[in-house]
Amino acid sequence: MACGLVASNLNLKPGECLRVRGEVAPDAKSFVLNLGKDNNHLCLHFNPRFNAHGDTNTIVCNSKDGGAWGAEHREPAFPFQPGSVAEVHSTHGVLRGRQVRWGLELAETASSPPVPPSFVLNLGKDNNHLCLHFNPRFNAHGDTNTIVCNSKDGGAWGAEHREPAFPFQPGSVAEICVSFDQTDLTIKLPDGHEFKFPNRLNLEAINYLAADGDFKIKCVAFE
Q: Which domain holds residue 62?
A: 30-107
Same domain for 59 and 94, yes or no, is yes
Give the separation between CA 120 and CA 135, rounded to whole angstroms: 5
Tens digits of residue pLDDT in 26-59: 888 988 888 888 888 888 888 999 999 999 999 9
Task: Assess whether 92 and 15 both reside in one domain.
Answer: no
Say whether both 65 and 11 belong to one domain. Answer: no
Return d(Cα 85, Cα 83) in angstroms, integer: 7
Entry pTM: 0.65
What's residue 218's pLDDT?
Answer: 67
How many domains are there within the chain? 2
Which of 40, 73, 107 is where one domain is finished?
A: 107
Q: Are residues 76 and 176 in the same domain?
A: no
Residue that finishes a domain, picked among 58, 90, 107 = 107
Of the candidates 29, 27, 87, 81, the residue with the CA atom closest to the CA atom of residue 55: 29
Query: Looking at residue 96, which CATH number applies to its domain?
Result: 2.60.120.200
In this predicted structure, the answer to whether residue 202 has a pLDDT above a threshold of 70 is: yes
Are 16 and 119 in the same domain?
Answer: yes
Residues 154 and 199 occupy one common structural domain: yes
**Residues facing 6 on adjacent strands:** 208
CB contact at 8 A, 163 and 189: no
Please report the sign of the dihedral spanned by the C-alpha atoms of residue 45, residue 47, residue 58, residue 83: positive
For 85-128, write each residue's pLDDT tens digit.
777 776 653 333 345 555 555 443 333 334 458 888 898 888 89
Q: Are 74 and 47 in contact (CB under 8 A)?
A: no
Give the three-state DSSP class for 172: coil
Q: Are residues 116 and 186 in the same domain?
A: yes
Per cent of the chain over pLDDT 90 is 36
**Cα–Cα distance, 89 to 211 (Å, whole number):** 20
Residues 154 and 200 in one domain: yes
Which of 107, 123, 145 is the last residue in one of the domains?
107
Same-domain status, 47 and 94: yes
Shared domain for 199 and 124, answered yes or no, is: yes
| Same domain as 41, residue 16 | no
